[in-house]
């Protein structure tokens, strides 16, 4: 009584969390000079998560462009991401997506 069940077939996997090691590297450059209301910021990012229990990995590589209007309070973004997940079946391991977004905070 009072204990939570394991969700991952062993270990202490609670709330969908998975044990492993994660890596993140990113690079961006805020281009000098204002264009219209803001500045352009191209960026790249690489993420990798190595799962301990299943000995699989998830990788993501992003390339994008931000239009910074007022710091993190107002920006527009476009980003392309390529995913590789070795946990999934072969035809589903490689996926790609394109996202556009807006961030407004006041």
Residues of the chain where predicted confidence (pLDDT) is lower than 50: 1-10, 13
Please tell me the predicted confidence (pLDDT) of residue 56: 84
DSSP string, 19-80: -EEEEEEEEE---SS-BTTBEEEEEEEEEEEEETTT--EEEEEEEEEEEESBTBTEEEEEEE
Residue 73: C-alpha distances to residues 7, 38, 42 (Å):
38, 12, 18
pTM above 0.85, yes or no: no
Supply the pLDDT for residue 6.
38
Question: What 3-state class would DSSP assign to 18?
Answer: coil
What pLDDT score does 16 carry?
Answer: 64
């Amino acid at each position: 009584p009072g204990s939570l069940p394991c969700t991952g077939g062993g270990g202490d996997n609670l709330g969908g969390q998975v044990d492993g090691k994660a890596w993140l590297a990113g690079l961006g450059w805020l281009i000098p000079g204002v264009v219209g209301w803001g500045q352009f910021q191209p960026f790249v990012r690489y993420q990798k998560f190595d799962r301990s229990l299943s000995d699989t990995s998830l990788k993501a590589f992003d390339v994008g462009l931000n239009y910074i209007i007022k710091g993190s309070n107002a920006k527009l973004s476009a980003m392309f991401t390529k995913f590789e997940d070795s946990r999934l079946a072969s035809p589903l391991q490689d996926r790609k997506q394109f996202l556009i977004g807006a961030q407004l905070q006041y």
